[in-house]
Structure 1
Amino acid sequence: MARIVYVNGAWVDETEAKVSVFDRGFLFADAIYEVTAVVGGKLVGYAGHAERLKRSLDSIGIPHPFTDESLLALHREILARNNLTDGAIYLQISRGAEDRDFFYSDDLTPTFVMFTQARPVLDNPKWKTGIAVITMPEGRWANRQIKTVQLLYSSLSKMEAKRQGADDVLFVEDGVITESGSSNAHIITKDGTLVTRALSNALLHGITRASILDVARNAQIKVEERGFTPEEALEAAEVFISSAGAFVMPVVSIDGKAIGDGKPGPMTARLRDLYIEYELAHAI
């Protein structure tokens, strides 16, 4: 059954959806996106995603083509139109379309697209096995706190990881891990401290990351926001990544070297349980 997608104010069959070939999102990656997980027909962490969407649009000067009320209503309607119970809602907003030029008009009408992806969210088989990652030099643009569609380097890096038999990458800049290919990165030290890189332009300000730090502190788990090296990650008790799609995903090896005993650790599982419990209680 084809999905119903939202394109510039219209609900259309996915096979009929069209965007201009002159759209700046297509020509220049001049666009912002967001992803919100759906569990049991409810939106997970929606408020954080909606606020980050507005911050990202403001950061590159794209006007908001929605009100707070209309944006939430669109999320609810796309759930209903597609009978989505578990999965994700993706939205993408570009600056708009006009003839190709590096300069752009100040009065463009943004292109606004939304679609759903159905998939199990609370039954991820990788939670049981963990994932393998490789390290690669950081090669993305400097303003990674803005959630733009400039994902080519991440895509190429993930494909290289796949060719090497791994699942994802950890980007390294000036000797320190920034994040993974599409998630924030964390370690658990041998004394039980949760370490994650402090917020800056070097990494996306993850909504899942923020919730994990909150539930960790509420559970009296010590938290340090600082950089850490690949060597420190290899010596850690546990390593995991976090995102709206993966929630809390254990990393069991880096560059072919096992983390601990090479199996998902108990602290990662505990943090995932605490995160899921909190988010499901607040899902809307």
Structure 2
Amino acid sequence: MEKPIIEVEHLTFRYDKRVKTETLSDVSLCIHKGEWVAIVGQNGSGKSTLARMLVGLLTPESGTIRIDGKVLNEQTKWELRSRIGMVFQNPDNQFIGTSVQDDVAFSLENLNIPYHEMKSRVDYAIDLVGLSAFKAHDPSHLSGGQKQRVAIAGVLALNPDVLLLDEAFVMLDPRSRRELLQTLQELNKNQDITIISITHDMNEAASSDRVMMMKKGKIVNSGTPKEVFSNVQDLEPPFAEKLRRTLISRNINVPEHYMTEEEMVRWLWK
């Protein structure tokens, strides 16, 4: 098997070292290139803390993080941080430029990228997220889903190996969520971009290759969406699984196994 792009070994962290309770407790995981991993759990489970540690915003009390085989520490964090692009909940907090293309170019300008290369990267990133027709638009006037895609384009222009989404769907309406999810699926499939999504949105998690469930600073369950949503009953299921369970409760004969949304639609049309 290909070497993991991210390796986390025995990670421990406390915000307040005067208390015994750990925010992260002996967390270990591996993520491979091109994989989409969703990290789920209740507020306070440690998932956003883990995300911040992966990009070097927080330093572990103990344990090791490796990005493509290189240990993340004070000496390497600036180099390795460029390998992971992070998109936060509210894209409005990330906008700098007065147009979409200016905003996407901002980080490249700070890196003194030559103009022709920068223009090529900006055009490519904007095209990847489907916003070529909006290059000259003021990003603050776009819809929620479009704003989040601008934020993703700004990260993609830096050519990261990993796209890290920290509750990127939280502030979006249902239509914008569907559009953004489709964009991410295309990026993951066509560009082989590794995606880590920290999320409460179970429909987003259902689109991943693997779901990791966190509770009280530990990873307590890990597997495919089918495995996790079939076996963990106290985790809110995605829409299709919720519908399947509702139909069962009404004594309607439905398949006994977990179904994706596409599988559920096909079954309903039979």
Structure 2 length-normalised TM: 0.27
- Report 1 or 2 for greater relative contact order, CA contacts < 8 Å, sequence distance ≥ 6: 2
Considering fraction of residues, name the structure with more helix.
Answer: 2
Structure 1 length-normalised TM: 0.26
Considering fraction of residues, name the structure with more strand.
Answer: 1
